[in-house]
Structure 1
């Protein structure tokens, strides 16, 4: 009975890590989508305001309108670029790193669990080693 309870403990801990991994994968996908939206938005707005600047510049309108459009293009491009590079990229790399660490720990735990299950004996020392791997995360 002791063996089964230890096995169940190990399985429960692995399942907890799998749930965390799913959460991190969802967050990583969400930040990838947000990053794509900012980059697409930046390109579309830049092209649109650049075309508007070119059109108004050739129509003999007061110089103020093309200047304002050019300024808006520069501000929009730099702000979207800073958001995409500065914030969303950091979030993407953070969640990518977390998922890689979780995957490697889950692989280690799975191998450790299978080895200890093969000999049909999970000792206290093996259980402590298992917990050490969990604590590293």
Structure 2
């Protein structure tokens, strides 16, 4: 019975460590996506602005620079919405999940160490361990991440 309690705690620790790896990987991925959108937005905006200035100076019909300026406004606002409304939110949500998981891994550390060292885990300790895990589940599920 005692070894099954120890095994249960070790399995839970491994599950939490895998979740932490997953959340960190997702956070890094969304950080890269966010960076790409920001860079792309800047490059396209500068390119269109230069094109607008050049076409305006060439005495082309006024419609060409106007269309380019309108395109710049649409492109800037749409990329801004994607960056602020989606990629930054995803990045922030995974950061929150990582922080929550890290906090709970620290809270559960004593149980993990006890299971390794003395292998003497009482039912009360196991109940306390499960209570902490339940609180973790509630807190981590409160951070909603949209599926990508």
TMscore range, shorter length: over 0.9
Give the unaligned 5+ runs of structure 1: none
Deviation at 1:79, TM superposition (A): 0.6
> Corresponding residue for 1:123?
122
Contact 1:52–1:69, Cα closer than 8 Å, also in 2: yes
More moved, 61-70 vs 21-30? 21-30
Contact 1:46–1:77, Cα closer than 8 Å, also in 2: yes
Superposed, 1:29-108 pairs within 5 Å as 29-108=28-107
> Corresponding residue for 1:135?
134
Give the unaligned 5+ runs of structure 2: 137-148
More moved, 84-93 vs 116-125? 116-125
Structure with the greater alpha carbon radius of gyration = 1
Q: Distance in 2 between matches of 1:88 and 1:99?
A: 17
Contact 1:116–1:126, Cα closer than 8 Å, also in 2: no
Q: State the Cα deviation string for residues 39-84 of structure 1 (Å, max 9, x = none).
A: 0010000000000000000001000000000000011011101110
Q: CA RMSD in A?
A: 1.4
The runs of at least 4 aligned residues of structure 1 exceeding 4 Å deviation read 115-120
The TM-score normalised by the length of structure 2 is 0.86
Alignment of 1:13 with 2:12, yes or no, is yes
SS at 1:81 equivalent: helix
The TM-score normalised by the length of structure 1 is 0.93
Q: Distance in 2 between matches of 1:16 and 1:117?
A: 16
Contact 1:24–1:95, Cα closer than 8 Å, also in 2: yes
Deviation at 1:93, TM superposition (A): 0.8
SS at 1:60 equivalent: coil
